[in-house]
Structure 1
Amino acid sequence: MKKYFYLTISFLASAFLFHSCVEDLPKYFEYTGYEFADLDANAGKWKLILHNSNEQIAIPTPSSAGSAQLNRELADAREKISRATSDQKASVTYWTNNPLLRWNEIALELATKYNLIPAPNPDGTYPSPDPANPGKYPLFPYSHPPYTSRMLAYLSVAQYDGLIMAWHYKYKFKREAPYQLDPQIKSAYESNNLYSYPSDGAVVAISSREILTAMFPLEKEYLARMAEEHLESLVLAGINVSSDVEAGKVIGAEVAKTALARASTDGMKNAQTSKAKSDSIKNAAKERFGWFWENLETPQRPVGLAPLFGKVRPWNIPNVEAVRVGPPPAPGSPEFNKDAEELKKFAANLTPEQRRIANFWNDGLNTYTPPGHWNRLAKEKTVANRLSPVRTARVFAYMNMAVMDAGISCWDVKYYYHYPRPIQAIPGFKTILGTPNFPAYTSGHSTFSGAAAEVLSHFFPTDANEFRKWAEEAAMSRIYGGIHYRFDAEVGLQQGKAVGAYSVTKAKLDGVD
Structure 2
Amino acid sequence: MLLRKIKTILFLGGILLLVSCEKELPTFLEYQSYAFSENDEAGGTWKPILISSGAAISLDAPKSTTSSEYQAELADMKAAMGQMTSEQRQSVSYWTSNPVTRWNEIALELIAKYNLIPGYNEDGTYTLPSPASPEGPPAFPFAHPPYASRALAYLSVAQFDGLVSAWHYKYAYKRAAPYQQDADIDYAYEQSTIPSYPSDGAVIAAVSREILSVMFPLEKAYLEQREAEHLQSLVLSGGNVASDVEAGISLGKKISSLALARAANDGMKNAQAPKAVSDSIKAAAFTRFGWQWDNLELPTRPVGLTPLFGKVKMWNVPNVLATRPKAPPALDSPEYLEDVRILKDYAAHVTAERRRIANFWQDGLGTYTPPGHWNRFARDFIVKYKMNPLRSARTFAYMNMAIMDGGISCWDAKYYYHYPRPIQMIKGFKTIAGTPNFPSYTSGHSVFSAAAAEVLAYIFPQEASLVRGWAEEAAISRVYGGIHWTFDATVGTEQGRDVARYTVNVAKADGADQ
TM-score w.r.t. the length of structure 2 is 0.95
Spell out, residue by residue over 1:342-368, the C-alpha distance to the aligned partner (whole angstroms, 9 max, x if none): 111111111111111100000010000
**Residues 60-459 of structure 1 correspond to what in structure 2 (within 5 A)?**
60-459=60-459
Whole-angstrom distance in 2 between the partners of 1:58 and 1:246: 14
Supply the AA of the counterpart residue of 1:362.
Q
> C-alpha displacement at 1:119, in angstroms?
1.1
Deviates more, 1:28-37 or 1:242-251: 28-37
Supply the AA of the counterpart residue of 1:91.
S
Whole-angstrom distance in 2 between the partners of 1:261 and 1:28: 31
Whole-angstrom distance in 2 between the partners of 1:37 and 1:341: 52
Is the CA contact 1:140–1:216 (under 8 Å) kept in the aligned structure 2? yes
Query: 2:7 corresponds to which residue?
Result: none
> C-alpha displacement at 1:333, in angstroms?
1.9
Supply the AA of the counterpart residue of 1:380.
D
Supply the AA of the counterpart residue of 2:312.
V
Supply the AA of the counterpart residue of 1:395.
T
> C-alpha displacement at 1:123, in angstroms?
4.0
Whole-angstrom distance in 1 between the partners of 2:147 and 2:95: 26
Is the CA contact 2:33–2:97 (under 8 Å) kept in the aligned structure 1? yes
Query: 2:12 corresponds to which residue?
Result: none
Spell out, residue by residue over 1:188-245, the C-alpha distance to the aligned partner (whole angstroms, 9 max, x if none): 0111221100000000000000000000000000000000000000000010000000
> C-alpha displacement at 1:32, in angstroms?
1.8
Supply the AA of the counterpart residue of 1:415.
Y
Is the CA contact 2:118–2:138 (under 8 Å) kept in the aligned structure 1? yes
> C-alpha displacement at 1:60, in angstroms?
2.0
Structure 2 unaligned segments of length 5 or more: list them: 1-20
Supply the AA of the counterpart residue of 2:88.
Q
Whole-angstrom distance in 2 between the partners of 1:456 and 1:371: 13
Whole-angstrom distance in 1 between the partners of 2:98 and 2:402: 23
- Distance of aligned partners of 1:31 and 1:23 in 2 relative to their CA distance in 1, 3 Å threshold: closer
> C-alpha displacement at 1:187, in angstroms?
0.9
Whole-angstrom distance in 1 between the partners of 2:44 and 2:77: 27
> C-alpha displacement at 1:182, in angstroms?
1.1
Query: 1:57 corresponds to which residue?
Result: 57
Query: 1:12 corresponds to which residue?
Result: none
Query: 1:6 corresponds to which residue?
Result: none
Whole-angstrom distance in 2 between the partners of 1:24 and 1:119: 25
Whole-angstrom distance in 2 between the partners of 1:176 and 1:74: 12
Supply the AA of the counterpart residue of 1:420.
P
Spell out, residue by residue over 1:240-299, the C-alpha distance to the aligned partner (whole angstroms, 9 max, x if none): 000000000000000000000000000000000111100000000000000000101122
Supply the AA of the counterpart residue of 2:188.
A
Supply the AA of the counterpart residue of 1:439.
P
Whole-angstrom distance in 2 between the partners of 1:391 and 1:280: 45
Whole-angstrom distance in 2 between the partners of 1:299 and 1:170: 56
Supply the AA of the counterpart residue of 2:202.
A
Percent of aligned pairs sharing the same letter = 61
> C-alpha displacement at 1:126, in angstroms?
2.0
Supply the AA of the counterpart residue of 1:503.
T
Spell out, residue by residue over 1:23-45, the C-alpha distance to the aligned partner (whole angstroms, 9 max, x if none): 64455421221100000000000
> C-alpha displacement at 1:332, in angstroms?
2.9
Is the CA contact 1:141–1:215 (under 8 Å) kept in the aligned structure 2? yes
Is the CA contact 1:311–1:408 (under 8 Å) kept in the aligned structure 2? yes
Whole-angstrom distance in 1 between the partners of 2:299 and 2:385: 48
Q: Does 1:486 align with 2:486?
A: yes
Whole-angstrom distance in 1 between the partners of 2:52 and 2:465: 36
TM-score w.r.t. the length of structure 1 is 0.95
Supply the AA of the counterpart residue of 2:479.
I
Is the CA contact 1:23–1:356 (under 8 Å) kept in the aligned structure 2? no
Supply the AA of the counterpart residue of 1:264.
A
Secondary structure class of the residue paired with 2:118: coil
Query: 2:29 corresponds to which residue?
Result: 29
Is the CA contact 1:124–1:299 (under 8 Å) kept in the aligned structure 2? no
Spell out, residue by residue over 1:109-164, the C-alpha distance to the aligned partner (whole angstroms, 9 max, x if none): 00000000011223433210011000021100000000000000000000000000
Is the CA contact 1:125–1:302 (under 8 Å) kept in the aligned structure 2? no
Whole-angstrom distance in 2 between the partners of 1:65 and 1:174: 11
Whole-angstrom distance in 2 between the partners of 1:343 and 1:123: 39
Whole-angstrom distance in 2 between the partners of 1:171 and 1:193: 11
Is the CA contact 1:125–1:301 (under 8 Å) kept in the aligned structure 2? no
Supply the AA of the counterpart residue of 1:78.
K
> C-alpha displacement at 1:66, in angstroms?
1.9
Whole-angstrom distance in 2 between the partners of 1:248 and 1:28: 25
Query: 2:15 corresponds to which residue?
Result: none
Query: 2:41 corresponds to which residue?
Result: 41
Secondary structure class of the residue paired with 2:357: helix
Is the CA contact 2:100–2:204 (under 8 Å) kept in the aligned structure 1? yes
Query: 1:11 corresponds to which residue?
Result: none
Is the CA contact 1:124–1:300 (under 8 Å) kept in the aligned structure 2? no
Whole-angstrom distance in 1 between the partners of 2:298 and 2:500: 36
Q: Which runs of 4+ in 1 moved over 4 A?
A: none
Whole-angstrom distance in 2 between the partners of 1:285 and 1:123: 32
Spell out, residue by residue over 1:426-467, the C-alpha distance to the aligned partner (whole angstroms, 9 max, x if none): 111010111100000000000000100110100001110001
RMSD: 1.0
Whole-angstrom distance in 2 between the partners of 1:245 and 1:23: 37
Deviates more, 1:47-56 or 1:362-371: 47-56
Structure 1 unaligned segments of length 5 or more: list them: 1-21
Secondary structure class of the residue paired with 2:164: helix
> C-alpha displacement at 1:55, in angstroms?
2.0
Supply the AA of the counterpart residue of 2:357.
I
Supply the AA of the counterpart residue of 1:296.
L
Whole-angstrom distance in 2 between the partners of 1:150 and 1:417: 23
